Amino acid sequence: MSPHSRVRLRGHFAPPGDKSIGHRLVLLGAIADGRTRIEGFPPGADCGRTVDLVRSLGVEAEQQDATLEIEGVGLDGLRAPEQDLDAGNSGSTARMACGYLAPQPFESRIIGDESLSQRPIDRVVKPLAAMGASIETSGGRLPLTIHGGRELHGIDYELPIPSAQVKTALLLAGLRATGTTRVRETFPSRDHTEIALCGFGAEPVIEDGVVSLRRVARLSAGHFRVPGDFSSAAFFLTAAAFLPDSDLVVENVGLNPTRAALLDVLLDMGADIQVEPHETHDGEEPIGNIHVRGRELHGAVVRADKLPAMIDEVPILAVAAAFADGTTRVEGASELRVKESDRLAAIVEGLGALGADVATTPDGFVVKGGRQLSPATLRTYGDHRMVMAWAIASLGVDGDCTIDHLDQVKISYPGFWETLDYLAG
């Protein structure tokens, strides 16, 4: 590729719909009574896998541009799939589907691509088994088979590692389990599932880090607007924060505090950021605009309690740290080793190739910023977020970088390259 070296980012843009929210609305809309309308539906391949999954279960879903309409079949209306359910590269689809399908009266088999099939699934399967589910994995990984027809019961479960996907799987199973399902978190993970459940008429109780949900008789269809994906916007707003003379406005982006901890970290690093929240109603996802102007940043310490609310933004934070003055330390990031790639290893390898002073720690990494970075060949391991992070890193390098797997942005942000050209042009 020929990156935009020594550029500034200027202009206004709206990121695509939030991928995390899109998955949840599709799954719940499919088992609600009535027709659910989702506006601003994400365009990436991951959410497409979840739409394909509910279609394979007998649900009608029609998409026109960014609007998706789902004809819900009710809690007992899903049909046995005629073939394997292919999650592709989508960990969200695979993990949430485990809890979604566990109470059903039929058998289903979930498969994934090579990357997803290397990622652990037992952290979802084990608590579901404690609820009475029967799930057979391939050595703790995909493919897996869910043997339906089991009566599930609620459990009281403390997440050993913060994970919104595991929490979601348990709550989806809890919709049809007897008694109360409780999920306890040491640090709060993203709460899109809790918000979506309320939107469909369920009544989760959230108190002191515990989410409780009782079995429901029905869910009601609704009309939803998906805010812009903060994780997609993060690449550009972070670039604008450290590239001198940048002036960028991100419009209609999700501002859920369980997702937006990157903003707090960038502010700690000295970034010039103004957040302009929009008025929203109770039960709606917070949304607004973010205005960023470029300036010199300095290092910061990112503690483990911040990570659940910015886990997908760590690669782009690492890039900002390389251009900042001083030392940035990221702690509690071991979860990155089991993402679409070993992101900890990829971050350290890539920044090192660029000439940054970077080192791993037992649960994270340290970057000593301020060095002049040089063009390099950057490996992404087919990970969409690493592709976008290295594309942003190349903006501050004097010369051309080579980045592989450029097409992987299709997973979450198909329009990434067009947005980059527009803002850097």
Tens digits of residue pLDDT in 231-273: 999 999 999 999 999 999 999 999 999 999 999 999 999 999 9
In this structure, are strands 377-378 and 402-403 parallel, antiparallel, or unpaired?
parallel
Q: According to the model, what pLDDT value does residue 1 have?
A: 31
Q: Single out the catalytic residue among 46, 229, 312, 383.
A: 312
Residues 84, 178: one domain? yes
Residues 336, 217: one domain? no
Q: According to the model, what pLDDT value does residue 338 have?
A: 78
Residues 78, 180: one domain? yes
Residues 272, 389: one domain? yes
Q: According to the model, what pLDDT value does residue 425 have?
A: 86
Residues 337, 285: one domain? yes
Q: Is residue 319 part of a domain?
A: yes
Q: Is residue 4 part of a domain?
A: no
Residues 262, 219: one domain? no
Count of structural domains within the chain: 2
pTM for the whole structure: 0.95
Q: Is residue 390 part of a domain?
A: yes
Pick from 177, 192, 225: which residue ends a domain?
Answer: 225
Q: According to the model, what pLDDT value does residue 341 have?
A: 86
Q: Is residue 3 part of a domain?
A: no
Residues 61, 161: one domain? yes
Q: What CATH number does residue 140 fall under?
A: 3.65.10.10
Pick from 194, 225, 256: which residue ends a domain?
Answer: 225
Residues 345, 304: one domain? yes
3-state secondary structure the chain: CCCCCCCCCEEEECCCECHHHHHHHHHHHHCCEEEEEEECCCCCHHHHHHHHHHHHCCCEEEEECCEEEEEEECCCCCCCCCCCEECCCCHHHHHHHHHHHCCCCCCEEEECCCCHHHCCCHHHHHHHHHCCCEEECCCCCCCEEEECCCCCECCEEECCCCCHHHHHHHHHHHCCCECEEEEECCCCCCCHHHHHHHHCCCCCEEECCEEEEECCCCCECCEEECCECHHHHHHHHHHHHHCCCCEEEEEEEECCCCCCHHHHHHHHCCCEEEEEECCCCCCCCCEEEEEEECCCCECCEECHHHHHHCHHHHHHHHHHHHHCEEEEEECCCHHHHHCCCCHHHHHHHHHHHHCCEEEEECCEEEEEECCCCCCCEECCCCCHHHHHHHHHHHHCCCCCCEECCHHHHHHCCCCHHHHHHHHHC
Residues 214, 233: one domain? no
Residues 186, 303: one domain? no
Q: According to the model, what pLDDT value does residue 6 have?
A: 64
Residues 217, 248: one domain? no
Pick from 208, 225, 242: which residue ends a domain?
Answer: 225
Q: Is residue 419 part of a domain?
A: yes
Tens digits of residue pLDDT in 276-333: 999 988 778 999 999 999 999 999 999 999 999 999 999 999 999 999 999 999 999 9
For residue 148, what are the domain limits? 19-225
Residues 259, 400: one domain? yes
Confirm whether 312 is a catalytic residue: yes
Q: Is residue 336 part of a domain?
A: yes
Q: Is residue 99 part of a domain?
A: yes
Q: Is residue 1 part of a domain?
A: no
pLDDT tens-place values along the chain, 425 residues long? 333 446 899 999 999 999 999 999 999 999 999 999 999 999 999 999 999 999 999 999 999 999 999 999 999 999 999 999 999 999 999 999 999 999 999 999 999 999 999 999 999 999 999 999 999 999 999 999 999 999 999 999 999 999 999 999 999 999 999 999 999 999 999 999 999 999 999 999 999 999 999 999 999 999 999 999 999 999 999 999 999 999 999 999 999 999 999 999 999 999 999 999 999 887 789 999 999 999 999 999 999 999 999 999 999 999 999 999 999 999 999 989 878 889 999 999 999 999 999 999 999 999 999 899 999 999 999 999 999 999 999 999 999 999 999 999 999 999 999 999 999 98
